[in-house]
Structure 1
Amino acid sequence: MAGLLAERGDLAALTTRADAGDKEAAGRLSSLLAKRSDLAALTAHADAGDRYAAEELVERLAARGDLPALTARADAGDITAVKRLIVLLAERGDLTTLTTRADAGDRYAAVALTDLLAARGDLAALTARADAGDTTAARRLNVLLAKRGDLTTLTARADAGDKDTAWILRR
């Protein structure tokens, strides 16, 4: 039924069915709204808890490069927006914003930041984050140090109480 309604472009009927809990109708409605670039309607549905609309909206905002809108949705708790925002920030190499978000407790940002720092071979930044309590950075730092065969630094970190480093040295 939802497929036929979508083919006809019947937004009203799709909305009625989606509001009644028809997941297929919700998905078709969101796809149709996205094809029509109706961001206002997608936003309204996403804000009402429609995850299909949230996904479509986030993808449209990302395609437009609308970081302020993605950030606003992410900061409001939209996990789809958080994940997509972090991907965009990482693709742009935006260490400043990733660091700010990671420092504020965004685990997705912490992982992306760690990945970027590791890819750049920035041991100093990884060490600083690890020493500040970022466990993701600490683990990545340990892996990089182990791959480089830097037993001196690994031993120093283990001697300073880093349990993960001590575990790596025991292996």
Structure 2
Amino acid sequence: MPLSIDASCPCGSAEPYGECCAPLHHGTVAKTVEALMRSRYCAFVLGLENHLRRTWHPDTCPTDMGLSADTHWKRLEVLDHGQPEGQKDGEETGWVHFRATFQEHGRWQRLEEVSRFTRLGDRWVYMDGTPQLSALKPGRNEACPCASGRKLKRCCAR
């Protein structure tokens, strides 16, 4: 799905897509594990399988990326990120703890994961994670899980 470079980046950074994840989607190397993770979330939103493959460690990359037209990614929250204790900047591993909210077949779900990253040459790549999936059951008059600030019935339930 094409996205204007002036549109808000789907990763939730509040930056325009053209200044945030688009350069990474076109081959720029991510400087941090958080930037890479945000670009990967954005690639799931936009269906960019090539970016996902390029940023996944070859030893753990699945054959099927799990991209589906039935999955609508709505919100990303980066909860924490860093490197293992005692490791200095520029060393080989990092992690990102995030929560992603999505809707699939009309059902709301939340994926929470601590993702592990490693360096492969001069670039960060995704190794694996410990995902936890949970169902959400928002009421029509509750805040929309996409974080728009509107009630569900006036937002994503339309």
TM exceeding 0.5: no
TM-score (structure 1 length as normaliser): 0.23
Name the structure with the higher strand share: 2
Decide which structure has the larger Cα Rg and report it: 1
Name the structure with the higher helix share: 1
